[in-house]
Amino acid sequence: MFDILLGDAYLTTEDQNKPHFPHTAHWNSIKTKIIVFAVIATVIPSVSMWWVSYVQNRKFLSEKITQELMDLSAQAAREVDLWFKERLYDVRVFSSSYLLSENLEKIFFTNPRQTETAVALRRLKDYLGSVREKFIPYDELALIDVQGNTVASSAASSNPVNMPEKWLETAQAGKRILGEPYREEGNGAVMVIGEPIQGGQGRLLGVLVAKLNFHTIGSSLESYVQDQEVELQLVTRGGLLLAGSPAARLEAMKRVLPKPIVEKFFSGETGPLGFNDSEGRKVVGTLKKVPELNWGVVAKKDREKAYAQIVRLRNLTLLLVAAVLVGIGLCAYLLGVAMVRPLGLLTRGAARVSAGDLEVDVPVRTRTEIGYLTEVFNHMVAKLREGRQELAAANEALLGKNKQLEHLSITDSLTGLFNRSHLMDTLAGEVARSRRHNRPFTLLIMDIDRFKRFNDTHGHLAGDEALRRTGFLLRDTIRNCDYAARYGGEEFVLILPETGPEQGVETAERIRKQVAEQEMGSDGEPLRVTVSVGVASFPRDGEDPRSLMKRADAALYEAKRRGRNRVVLSGEGRKRKQQETPRQVQSA
């Protein structure tokens, strides 16, 4: 009953964790192909229709948003243009007052008494103050003489007037003075407007300067967007925010729009432009230039609110497509299960066999072609099981022989050290490694002194015992990273990685002393031998195996020539004239 509920899942959890049979794994199974085909057949038309609908709706909404923002920005731009022309007209009217020219003439050209000058200055100040009280857009009205000094001002104390360059030349030509908008601390964005004041005979008496603020235009912009989720901002081509709606958001007005955004706006790009505004919000907006000014009115709207409708439509469509996919996928899954269930039992058995488990006996549940295939499969597995047992026994025996042969091929049977063949391969590898990492190593060649006389005196068995004990001593003395081999006869070679010539000599001297103190006789016989050691270092004495062996061998025979039982570093005996060859020294 449990097997039926699991759909012939007779395998244990451990069996199911083994690798799957490759031809039925996931993407290659019939069930998966049916599901994939059904899903693709549903996805392609559904997603295509959804995409077309989404693109069309987004295009329509973008056009609607563009039109709305363009209309608002165009109306506001006209209002700003009219407002600015009115301010210019106001300043021209103020400057044409006879009171200004009369009192300035009296101050600068009639040499009045001090009391008359004071009266003239008071009249000028009273006039400027009364005008300032009636016209809110001006923060300050001031009279500037031709030297740039403030003659009179509507403010009791004011910041110095920020006059534009070449203002005097412009005034002398009888033209209006227009400064660039700038930010004044504690006063927001302001702009200087000036009109020249001329007296009799066309003389320039001074300039009436009005410091224009943009607070009132901010209130006008706010009136355009009542009950709408749109904001208007007046910006310069340099990105300076002059005014905006809501006008109360003064902190935001202190910021400057990013230069790339301003350039795109003033370049005349059509359509809503998405960007992060001065407050860091994601918005879409359009810009309409103010006629005859290097300013523009930006109409912007929160991007999330602007596209909320299309986002809801997109999410709803995606939800419907997902629901359809789930339904189609479920139907395809049930169909696939019904089709592939007869193959499931045999597939899982094959998966176990492919994982190396031959203890498989798949039960035959049907008498169809699948049942016959299952019987053949069981017979095949039984034959494989028998063959594997025989092969395992043969492989085990062969493995033991191979290990024994490998050990014999690289090991000296008498001393247990590596032999000459393995030594040369190891030395070549150490040279390559040290050259690659730019690290030193030391090579020692050690020879038992007068070994032939030792053999002749004590017999070859005693000589073999001396060689064996010397090999044991070397293995116990050197580090784990060091290497020892029997080079041939009574000669031994040691490789000391990461060791310089001085440390190599110290190691060789320690080994020499230990060999001299070691009893080499068997059965308690007090026999001793001495060794001579030649030392060569990479790269000091050579950069290839042949050069190192040659230098170490020469040092060894120098030790022999000096009386044996000593350590000689390569190069110590080069200045000494050698008459006989190394082999003559040994035989001596």
Residues classed as catalytic? 490
Distance CA 19, CA 355 (A): 6
Distance CA 508, CA 518 (A): 15
> What sign results for the dihedral spanned by CA atoms 549, 550, 555, 561?
positive
Kind of pairing, strands 273-276 and 150-153?
unpaired
* Structural element, H or E, at residue 290: none
What length is written for the chain?
588
Distance CA 196, CA 130 (A): 20
Number of Cβ within 10 Å of residue 188's Cβ equals 18
Amino acid found at 450: R
- Give residues with Cβ within 8 angstroms of 124, minimum separation 6: 99, 100, 103, 104, 143, 151, 152
Amino acid found at 342: P
Distance CA 47, CA 432 (A): 62
Q: Tell me, letter by letter, the H, E, C secondary structure of 144-193.
A: ECCCCCEEEECCCCCCCCCCCCCHHHHHHCCCCEECCCEEECCCEEEEEE
Distance CA 298, CA 70 (A): 9
Q: Tell me, letter by letter, the H, E, C secondary structure of 78-108.
A: HHHHHHHHHHHHHHHHHHCCHHHHHHHHHHH
Q: Tell me, letter by letter, the H, E, C secondary structure of 476-520.
A: HHCCCCCEEEEEECCEEEEEEECCCHHHHHHHHHHHHHHHHHCCC
- Give residues with Cβ within 8 angstroms of 3, minimum separation 6: 9, 10
Q: Report the first-to-last Cα separation within the chain, whole angstroms.
A: 95
- B/e letters for 431-468, b = 16+ CB within 10 Å, e = fewer, are beebeeeeebbbbbbbbbbbbeebbeebeeebbebbbb
Distance CA 18, CA 356 (A): 9
- Kindly tell me the number of DSSP H helices and DSSP E strands found in the chain: 18, 16
CA-angle at 172, arms to 167 and 178, nearest 5°: 35
Peptide bond just before 246 cis, omega within 30 deg: yes
Q: Judge residue 355's burial from the number of C-beta atoms within 10 Å of its C-beta, 0-12 exposed, 13-18 middle, 19 or more buried.
A: middle
Distance CA 107, CA 122 (A): 12
Peptide bond just before 45 cis, omega within 30 deg: no
